């Protein structure tokens, strides 16, 4: 219901116009227990030799007497007409009455003193109850935020409870969207849909919110006339007058604002401000924790997806070397992340030919893995139907150019061993040249062209190498030669050559593992930023 105009209400008519102490006071009955009144009554009787009675604001007898005596005492009081009201800040809580005709001045003085003491007791009791209520509210909100599964509803409940404990008309919690600069409503109480849809609240357009975001608790004396309030007409229609705007801050970061409004003009006490700040801090901590929890859930979900993607990708990588009557193969594949951008593959081609491909796409993680799958699919599709290796690479390049951006490309080496193992035909599209070891001498397989995925009309050349028994070809990606130790030194091609020479007499699978261990010993515990792929082909 719409609040009355402030000019038509007295402080006792509207709780919002009372102090924080007065808002908790109703009657003497609610604040003083009967045992205390009975004790005062007995002490008075002993000192003054006459009876004393206590009455609530509505005339009800409060101290412990029988119903008949209470009625008689009321009659006596009305006949004698002597009583002292218990007053606190013009608010009548009840009265103290001397049950004797023409009581002595001493009795009257003691009655006045007792009435004054009761007023002090009431004030202290009101303060205690107010503080207990505020602490209970804060504790309850802490429990609510810790246990709730519906965070939006928790913020609505927080707004409702702050309205109740502070006796204000309405409250809202707005969180700052840093991307748009908008303060988005996240919790509210007693705010109409019309007011909510008045327009977007942008931080740059609202000096009150700007001050609150900077850490200040802002007092609004009258939202209907305050020039800092952007929607003054809407505030007037909503019945919003005095208010406070408090920052929602946690660990030095302000996440939003908490606003409260009264239906009349009101001065807020320091305790009001402290209470609002306490609730705002709880809400801010809850918002922060909720966001961390959401991020953790998203990260967990992404990790599961990456794990599944890694499993799928590993099924694309040969688990075992391909069989060839004259060539033995060894292999190592270690992505730096759950999924990688490196790949190698064996192709079982017609007439006993065996293809070997190794590639490194730009990027790592899921984007790299997707590009890797695309390159692998294109290579397999064209290798089965096209004879010339240079034509195969050209078609894979055109496929990549159609499906990728300019910044997305891959290096790839593809070669085919003849059935008798005496010839190796290859094309190198910008990849690290494989090392051919014959005797004690190395040669690099460089013939080819540009990386794939950049220029659709790029031309590629092929080359044919005549192989001999004992020859070894080591295919690798740059994750091997660019492995880095803690001193920032790269493993490099020379160390790789030395490692090949050192382990060349081993069985090919063992040799491949030893090449990997040499890289690992060099890098130590330094984190590696790239995938590592090694394939060794040994001619029998």
Q: DSSP letters of 295-363? A: HHHHHHHHHHHHHHHHHHHHHHS-SSPPP-SSEEEEEEEE-SSSS-SEEEEEEE-GGG-EEEEEEEESS
Ramachandran quadrant class, 9 (left: phi over 0; alpha: psi -120 to 50; beta: rest): beta
Question: How many Cα atoms within 13 Å fall on the side-chain side of residue 410?
Answer: 35
Mean pLDDT confidence for 202-207: 90
Among 353, 415, 366, smallest CA distance to 389 is for 415
| Res 305: pLDDT | 73
Specify the higher pLDDT residue, 302 or 345: 345
| Res 387: pLDDT | 83
Burial degree of 460 (CB within 10 A; 0-12, 13-18, 19+) = buried
| Res 192: pLDDT | 92
The SS3 call for residue 353 is coil
CB 282 within 8 A of CB 246: no
Q: Point out the least confidently predicted range of 95-99, 336-340, 427-431, 449-453.
A: 336-340
Mean pLDDT confidence for 359-371: 77
Residues shown for the chain = 540
Class of domain 9-129: alpha beta
Among 77, 92, 84, smallest CA distance to 31 is for 92
For residue range 482-537, what is the model confidence (pLDDT) as tens digits?
999 888 899 999 999 999 999 999 999 999 999 999 999 998 876 766 789 999 99
Judged against a pLDDT cut of 50, whether residue 380 lies above it is answered with yes
| pLDDT band of 76, cuts 50, 70, 90 | very low
Class of domain 317-539: alpha beta
Q: Point out the least confidently predicted range of 281-295, 341-355, 389-403, 430-444.
A: 281-295
| Res 506: pLDDT | 96
The share of the chain scoring above pLDDT 70, in percent, equals 85
Q: Point out the least confidently predicted range of 150-164, 249-263, 405-419, 440-454.
A: 150-164
| Res 132: pLDDT | 67
Specify the higher pLDDT residue, 87 or 208: 208
Judged against a pLDDT cut of 70, whether residue 5 lies above it is answered with no
Q: Point out the least confidently predicted range of 110-119, 351-360, 415-424.
A: 110-119
For residue range 138-174, what is the model confidence (pLDDT) as tens digits?
767 667 666 666 667 778 888 888 888 888 999 998 9
Q: Point out the least confidently predicted range of 125-134, 168-177, 443-452.
A: 125-134
Q: Do 9-129 and 148-293 show the same overall fold?
A: yes
| pLDDT band of 125, cuts 50, 70, 90 | confident
Tokens of residue 286, six digits: 């809850």
Domain ranges across the chain: 9-129, 148-293, 317-539
Judged against a pLDDT cut of 90, whether residue 413 lies above it is answered with yes
DSSP letter at 60 equals -
> 148-293 — its CATH code?
3.30.450.40
| pLDDT band of 341, cuts 50, 70, 90 | confident
CB 515 within 8 A of CB 536: yes
Judged against a pLDDT cut of 60, whether residue 22 lies above it is answered with no
* pTM summary value: 0.56
Judged against a pLDDT cut of 80, whether residue 336 lies above it is answered with no
| Res 147: pLDDT | 67
The SS3 call for residue 221 is coil
Mean pLDDT confidence for 385-396: 91
Mean pLDDT confidence for 67-88: 56
Judged against a pLDDT cut of 70, whether residue 65 lies above it is answered with no
| Res 87: pLDDT | 85
d(CA 77, CA 100): 8
| Res 63: pLDDT | 65
| Res 2: pLDDT | 34
Longest Cα pair distance anywhere in the chain, in angstroms? 136
Specify the higher pLDDT residue, 336 or 434: 434
Q: Point out the least confidently predicted range of 68-82, 339-353, 487-501.
A: 68-82
Mean pLDDT confidence for 178-200: 89
């Amino acid at each position: 219901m719409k609040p009355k105009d402030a000019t038509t209400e007295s402080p006792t008519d509207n709780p919002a116009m009372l102090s924080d102490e007065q808002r908790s006071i109703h009657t003497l009955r609610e604040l003083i227990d009967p045992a205390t009144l009975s004790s005062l009554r007995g002490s008075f009787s002993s000192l003054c030799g006459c009876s004393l009675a206590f009455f609530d604001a509505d005339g009800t007898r409060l101290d412990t007497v029988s119903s008949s005596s209470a009625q008689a005492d009321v009659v006596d009081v009305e006949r004698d007409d002597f009583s002292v009201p218990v007053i606190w800040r013009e608010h009548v809580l009840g009265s103290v009455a001397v049950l004797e005709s023409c009581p002595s001045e001493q009795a009257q003085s003691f009655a006045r003193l007792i009435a004054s003491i009761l007023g002090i007791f009431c004030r202290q009791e009101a303060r205690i109850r107010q503080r207990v209520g505020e602490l209970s509210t804060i504790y309850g909100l802490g429990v609510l935020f810790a246990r709730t599964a519906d965070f939006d509803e928790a913020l609505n409940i927080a707004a409702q409870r702050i309205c109740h404990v502070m006796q204000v008309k309405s409250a809202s919690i707005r969180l700052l969207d840093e991307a748009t600069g908008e303060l988005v409503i996240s919790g509210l109480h007693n705010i109409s849909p019309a007011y909510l849809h008045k327009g977007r609240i942008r931080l740059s357009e609202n000096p009150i919110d700007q001050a609150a975001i900077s850490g200040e608790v802002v007092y609004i004396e009258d939202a209907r006339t305050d020039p800092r309030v952007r929607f003054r007409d809407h505030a007037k229609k909503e019945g919003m007058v005095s208010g406070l705007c408090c920052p929602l801050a946690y660990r030095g970061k302000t996440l939003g604002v908490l606003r409260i409004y009264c239906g009349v003009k009101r001065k807020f006490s320091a305790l009001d401000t402290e209470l609002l700040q306490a609730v705002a801090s709880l809400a801010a901590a809850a918002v922060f924790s909720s966001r961390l929890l959401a991020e953790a859930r998203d990260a967990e979900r992404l990790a599961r997806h990456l794990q599944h993607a890694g499993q799928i990708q590993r099924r694309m990588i040969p688990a075992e070397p391909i069989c060839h009557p004259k060539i033995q193969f060894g292999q190592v594949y270690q992505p730096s992340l759950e999924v990688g951008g490196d790949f190698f593959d064996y192709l079982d081609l017609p007439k006993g030919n065996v293809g070997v491909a190794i590639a490194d796409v730009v990027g790592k993680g899921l984007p790299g893995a997707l590009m890797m799958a695309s390159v692998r699919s294109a290579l397999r599709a064209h290798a089965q139907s096209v004879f010339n290796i240079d034509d195969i690479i050209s078609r894979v390049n055109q496929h990549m150019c159609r499906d990728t951006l300019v910044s997305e490309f891959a290096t790839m080496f593809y070669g085919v061993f003849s059935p008798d193992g005496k010839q190796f035909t290859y094309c190198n599209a910008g990849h690290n040249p494989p090392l051919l070891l014959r005797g004690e001498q190395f040669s690099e397989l460089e013939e080819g062209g540009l990386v794939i995925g950049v220029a659709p009309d790029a031309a590629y050349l092929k080359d044919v190498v005549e192989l001999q028994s004992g020859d070894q070809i080591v295919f690798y990606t740059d994750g091997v030669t660019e492995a880095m130790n803690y001193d920032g030194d790269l493993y490099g091609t020379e160390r790789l050559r030395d490692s090949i020479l050192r382990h060349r007499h081993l069985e090919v699978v063992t040799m491949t593992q030893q090449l990997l261990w040499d890289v690992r010993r060099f890098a130590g515990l330094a984190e590696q930023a790239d995938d590592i792929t090694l394939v060794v082909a040994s001619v029998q």
